[in-house]
Structure 1
Amino acid sequence: MSGSFTVMKPGLQTCVQELPGRIGFLEQGFPFSGPFDAWSFRQANLLVGNDRDTAALECQFLGPTLKFQSDCRIGITGADMRPVLDGKAVPMWTTTEVRAGQELALGAAIVGARSYIAISGGIATESVLGSRAVFHQAGVGGCALVAGQDVPLGNGTEANEIFTIPEARRPVITSDKRWSIEALKGPNDDWLSEEMIETFFSADWKVQAKSSRTGIRLTGPEFAFSERALNKNADHGHDPSNIIDHGYPLGAVNLAGQTPIILVHDSPSTGGFINPFTVASAALWKLGQVKPNEVLNFRCIDRAEATDLRAGIDAATRAGVLERV
């Protein structure tokens, strides 16, 4: 049975997201979008019997208050925003039954940055360019939720089983404000000096407040460049970090002058700056949970390890991880 919910308070840029995102439109300037922390997103959907890629809500730093207009099941994962249903605490990483007329409220994130709310049947907003994922800055697929908005839901399955995600299969959202981020060299690591490459993987990099779903800006050591960057053809641009416009991979550590910016889900797909390193796809979920002023330490891995990490996360986001309560 389909239904809806009403937004009583929108939270901070709460958006509808969906996997795999908006595929096939990079050349037209449309990013992938999709959930920042796909691990938590998919586990939330599993809890309510949805396909793991079904449209759900991403809540950033401060969660929303929602009033449900129909019976449904919800699953909340990711950052701890102390969710309550009609004032009573709701367990995270566990299925919760909701009745029509009840209100769900999420507060500020205690640990982590983004929570995910999946609802049985999924969110049934209009699909734009093949996806319900919201690119808020451009208004593609809609925008962040606003107070008074009614959001439609799809048809959920008739089920009354309660599930939980065992703690050992959940993403570890650290509370010590320091994150280890797996990254690979390339595609433009040869534009940096060998000493700088070593420095990148040994230094502390602080997350700037000026970070978003477009890019994570970092503060750290000054970059040193190789001969290739310092003595290049004029068509590459005057700054050592400039290069002839080329494609940017998702997760690229993009170097604009002396400011490294990790390009994430709403980032541009091409430009004229080098990308000396790329965050492994299996580590992107961590970037969705970091907060300003937290510290990143990058760990150098190769493609084989990146593939193994990706396989591990894929296994942790399948129905087999669920336990009945």
Structure 2
Amino acid sequence: MSAPLIQLHPGDSLAIAQEKLQRHRVRRIVVTGKDGALRGILTESNLSQILDPLELFGMLEILQHRVKQLSEDRDRLLPHKNLHLQQALKNGEFLLYYQPQLDIESQRIIGAEVLVRWQSPEQGLVSPGEFIPLAEMTGFIVPLGEWILKAACTQAVQWQQRGLTPLQISVNLSSKQLQSPQLVPCLKAILAETGLEARWLKLELTESALVENVDFTMAQFRLIKELGVAIAIDDFGTGYASLGYLQHFPFDTLKIDRCFVENIHQNPKNAAITKALINMAQQLNFSVVAEGVETAEEMEFLRQHHCYTFQGFFISRPLPTAAFETFLANYPA
């Protein structure tokens, strides 16, 4: 190393390095500066993982061109796909499913989360994970969300008129809907048209909705609360909001995400987080709903720690309207 036989200078290309390795049949070369000081060592394995700057530049050009193509494809295809969604709404292809929420103490169904599905003639039943992101990207989520709100409120009133115990229905609201100046007038109109009392409607928002345009969001919250509509923060602890948001936004319910509830009776970390969320919510006078409860052990842990409302496969999967009505009629079996 004190007197290397084969040297490279920082200005030499990788092609020169490759040629020297092959010509001298060595596996490493030292890199020195003009003063002869060691700058580094280049090995055969290093070289195989390094691209020549010229080659790298060419690859970047190719990648940039591909990104441009994908962007153009997206801009071309999104309106086409959005047209499919608009046509689906016009054709009545969207369906509402309801996941019951149980009060553990009374063993009564006290509410239901409303979920949307797409019954496509070509694709069959499409899950929201496939079309909701597209609806968000194209802005279609706003008219779709309005339809969901109106259909859910209409259904809730119909159940009450048939003598069923009133349920508080929880409807998910996207951040785009929350940021729309038309949201509150739309809510007023839907409640007036359907005849549903505001106390039987709850809007569910994710944490990410809280941190977008905070001042406007707080104003929207106040207007929604003035209507008498309840607000829930969904999946708290998994998004972008900090605990500081809890003292500024006037909402009613914290929903504990499934990731904290899973195996809660066996997972000390999940148990600690969930107990802390429950205690905090009680101190701040929020109600708590646990999501994704799948076992009796999970439910019992929640009950012991004073979380009395939950939803999840342990009680029922989301059900279409007719099946949900049958479930209500037969519960408890």
- TMscore range, shorter length: under 0.3
More helix by share: 2
Question: How high is the TM-score relative to the length of structure 2?
Answer: 0.22
More strand by share: 1
In our comparison, the structure showing a higher alpha carbon Rg is: 2
